[in-house]
Amino acid sequence: MTGAPFFLSPTILARRMTPEGQQPKGKLVGFKPLQERYCYYSLDDGTVLGVKPVMVKVFRMLGPDGRPASGPDGAPAYFYQTQNVTQILTPDEYKIMTNRELQE
């Protein structure tokens, strides 16, 4: 296979690996954040919107036989829940914040 790596969203992957009408099965997996960064967007009205996804839960998908499942490319299959954290900043607040980060 050439080009970009194959990717299915966790929801689509869970649906494909689970018989119709059943909930996906998975084992809860512990995790620790390595990075949690905001992405910032300048809105047409001048406001700066910051958005950061934060992991809530991670499950290793299990196949119908109860063994760990893999995706079509052979990679381990996970299903996860995230929550978006947002920041609303004025352009001046954003400039002050980025200047502080550059000084650190």
Q: Give the model confidence (pLDDT) of 45-101 as tens digits.
A: 999 999 999 999 999 999 888 899 988 888 999 988 999 999 999 999 999 988 887
What local confidence, expressed as pLDDT, does residue 92 receive? 93
The answer as to whether 2 is a domain residue is: no
Query: Any residues with CB less than 8 A from the CB of 30 and at least 6 apart, and which?
Result: 58
Residue ranges making up the domain that contains 21: 10-103
The answer as to whether 93 is a domain residue is: yes
- What is the domain count for the chain? 1
The answer as to whether 3 is a domain residue is: no
Confirm if 89 and 47 have CB atoms less than 8 A apart: yes
The answer as to whether 5 is a domain residue is: no
What local confidence, expressed as pLDDT, does residue 1 receive? 39
Please state the pTM of the whole predicted model: 0.64
Instruction: Give Cα separations from 59 to 18, 44, 82 (angstroms).
Output: 14, 38, 12
